[in-house]
Copies of this chain bind each other. A is one copy, B any other.
Amino acid sequence: MSLTGYSIGVASIRTRSEPRTGPLMAQVSEMARSLSMAMCVGYPEKEGDRIFNAAAVFDDTGRLIHHYRKTHLFGAYELAVFTPGGAGELACSRLNSSSKPGSLAFGLMICMDCEYPEPARLLALQGAEIIILPTALGAGPVQHLTPRCVVPTRALENHIFIAYANFCGPAAGPDDSAFVGQSAVIGPDGMDLCRAPGPESIHRHASVDSACVRCADVESAAFAADVARNPYLTARRPELYAAISDAAACAAAGRA
């Protein structure tokens, strides 16, 4: 929700929401074009009476090439304001750069989506090479688990890059939320290619130092040996997994 802020309250989310062709989105498109750089932005998307927790990718010509509506909402706040994305959201697109040959298959998830194993698996099964994952993970007793364990596990189990961009520091909004940072690019072997610090470092230096903003090379061929050793995608046993998409099995799991 980088376009508007996340913890700004239901009323502000509604006020600031706009369609994917809205004026703020047009400015992001223009920014991508003028910088010749693909950009991903999270925002509250308005469509009729509904608002989605959405993210969009513009290519380096400013064209909107991928759009995603969060499929797994988190908590009472999100359920009060957002409609979840439905069938077809967890799909891949290809990013072509105007200055580099080749293309990159990518998909999007947002925040809580990554804590379920299914969304990343669905994207990997469609051939995604990288998942872009904007998130606003709040501070709490297990705040290290998602950036340090869950997200690397998603990368490893799917042999996929993940670009994890997490809000860091105090929220720009009416509540006292704080977010834990630790944005990272993780390789298909589950190891960090780069990682930004958490809010402690940010506060200490009173600014975001250069260590927080790094580039990582995304080159799948470098991980061929890892993929061969543990062929998580090709050695799957889909014939055993039917219950994962069985609604009755899901309902039965409502354990007291």
Contacts and interface: CB of A to CB of B under 8 A. Distances in A.
Interface of A: 71-72, 74-75, 84, 86-87, 89-90, 112, 115-119, 121-122, 124-127, 129, 142, 145, 148-150, 152-153, 156-157, 189-191, 220, 229-230, 232-247, 249-250, 252-255
A142 B191 contact: yes
Contact of A122 (B72, B121, B241): B241
A245 B253 contact: no
A233 B245 contact: no
Contacts of A241: 118, 122, 244-245
How often does this chain occur in the complex, in copies?
2
Given A75-B229, A150-B153, A118 B240 contact: yes
Chain A to chain B: the 4 pairs with minimum beta-carbon distance, closest first: A117-B117, A241-B245, A149-B149, A153-B153
A71 B238 contact: no
A234 B247 contact: no
Given A149-B190, A229-B75, A242 B245 contact: yes
A210 B189 CA distance: 34
7 contacts: A72-B237, A116-B232, A118-B236, A126-B253, A145-B156, A236-B250, A238-B247
B240 A90 contact: yes
Contact of A127 (B74, B116, B142, B253): B253
A153 B146 CA distance: 8
Contacts of A149: 148-150, 152-153, 156, 190
Given A115-B230, A121-B117, A87 B150 contact: no
A60 B125 CA distance: 43
A157 B117 contact: yes
A116 B156 contact: no
Nearest to A220: B255
B122 A243 contact: yes
Given A239-B87, A245-B238, A245-B239, A252 B122 contact: no
Contacts of A229: 75
A157 B115 contact: yes
B125 A249 contact: yes
Contacts of A239: 87, 245, 247
Contacts of A253: 124-127, 233-234, 236
Contacts of A246: 125, 238
